[in-house]
Amino acid sequence: MEAKAPSESFTEMTEIVMPQHTNTIGTAFGGVIMSWIDICSSIAAKRHCGSVCVTARIDALEFKAPIKVGDVVRLTARLNAAFTSSMEVGVRVEREHAFTGERATCADARATFVKLGDDGKPGQVPALLAESEEDQRLAAEAADRRRRRRAAEGVS
Ligand SMILES: CC(C)(COP(=O)(O)OP(=O)(O)OC[C@H]1O[C@@H](n2cnc3c(N)ncnc32)[C@H](O)[C@@H]1OP(=O)(O)O)[C@@H](O)C(=O)NCCC(=O)NCCS
């Protein structure tokens, strides 16, 4: 199974906040943004592993600024790390003014996906090739998070 670089699965998704996506104060409803995060990150994970995969975890989701009705929303997802059958994907959500193009980061999240083989069981994913120091740093941080989480759960 050939290793792949994060650039091969990088995913960009564009949405626009319509009235049906808003809460009672005219800004994007958090659950809608979460759904877009899940879709964008799952595309990156599928591009990396070339197979069906399921969301095992979404964490570190932080809403930093509101997104208004009429704003364009840009989501970007990149593979941070690939383990045995699981992959950590980092997601960024930016709002973009539809006319000026001015952007601001509104949310960040991390999602873990697990590849499923034809038998429906977790299957091996391709290794992640680090092309830059940033790729190396993100992979090391993801591995450290995974190590800590498994230790807290009592998994060796
Ligand atoms: C995710 C799922 C396939 C894992 O199955 P499992 O039998 O627990 O698998 P394992 O214990 O062998 O773990 C497989 C991998 O998943 C990872 N994993 C499992 N649960 C996890 C969790 N909650 N968070 C992060 N990683 C997790 C393990 O660390 C392991 O990673 P590795 O192979 O890279 O070492 C299973 O829990 C599941 O189907 N969950 C429901 C998924 C779902 O319905 N998502 C929403 C719709 S897409």
| Nearest atom within ligand 1 for CA of residue 53 | 48
Q: Is the CB of 56 under 6 A from ligand 1?
A: yes
CB 13 within 8 A of CB 39: yes
Contacts of residues 22-25 at CB distance under 8 Å and 24 or more positions apart, as own/partner, are: 22/69
Per-residue pLDDT for 155 more than 90? no
Q: Is the CB of 9 under 6 A from ligand 1?
A: no
Ligand 1 mutation target, pool 34, 37, 49, 86, most atoms within 8 A of CB: 86
Q: What is the pLDDT of residues 9-39, one digit of tens each?
A: 999 999 999 999 999 999 999 999 999 999 9
pTM listed for this prediction: 0.96
**21: which DSSP letter?**
G
Q: What is the pLDDT of residues 102-150, one digit of tens each?
A: 999 999 999 999 999 999 999 999 999 999 999 999 999 999 999 999 9
Q: Is the CB of 104 under 6 A from ligand 1?
A: no
pLDDT confidence of residue 41:
98
| Nearest atom within ligand 1 for CA of residue 84 | 34
Residue 63, CB-side half-sphere exposure with 13 Å CA sphere: 12
Cα separation of 98 and 142, whole Å? 34
